[in-house]
Amino acid sequence: MNDSFDFIIVGGGTAGCILANRLTASGQYRVLMLEAGGEPRSLWIGIPAGFSKLLTNATYNWRFQTEPEEGTRGRVIAVPRGKGLGGPSVINDVPPSPLPRGTAITRPRVPSSGSVCKRQL
């Protein structure tokens, strides 16, 4: 087995996963990805109501917080950062749209070039 790699990616967040996918798509390069978290396996992932459960779960959130500051009246503020393959997208909440799926206001319009995506209002 060959233990050499063409690229090493530190962090399996959204950007790291996309980069690894693009680099390995042709089969030309070998990539090693280092990620401190694991695979996102919680049942709460992908459920909008699960957002609050994941915010307090040290398995999926680094649980960073600010230092107390005068401007916050000495409060400590949580700074959620996802831990695991997918990074912050593991715990990000995507609130459901009040409009039916596929309506003109919620559906992105993609020009024929496919290079730019604009919202149709």
Is pLDDT of 82 > 60?
yes
Is pLDDT of 27 > 50?
yes
Tokens representing 48? 């909008």
Helix or strand or coil: residue 121? coil
Helices (H) and strands (E) in the chain, counts: 2, 6
Name which residue leads in pLDDT, 24 or 100: 24
110 band by pLDDT with thresholds 50, 70 and 90? very low
Question: Residues 6 or more apart from 29 whose CB is under 8 A from it?
Answer: 6, 7, 23
pLDDT of residue 80: 87
Average the pLDDT over each of 19-23, 60-64, 87-91 and give the range with the smallest value. 87-91
Q: Give the predicted TM-score (pTM) of the model.
A: 0.62
Is pLDDT of 107 > 50?
no
Average pLDDT of 77-86?
88
Average pLDDT of 36-42?
86
Helix or strand or coil: residue 56? coil
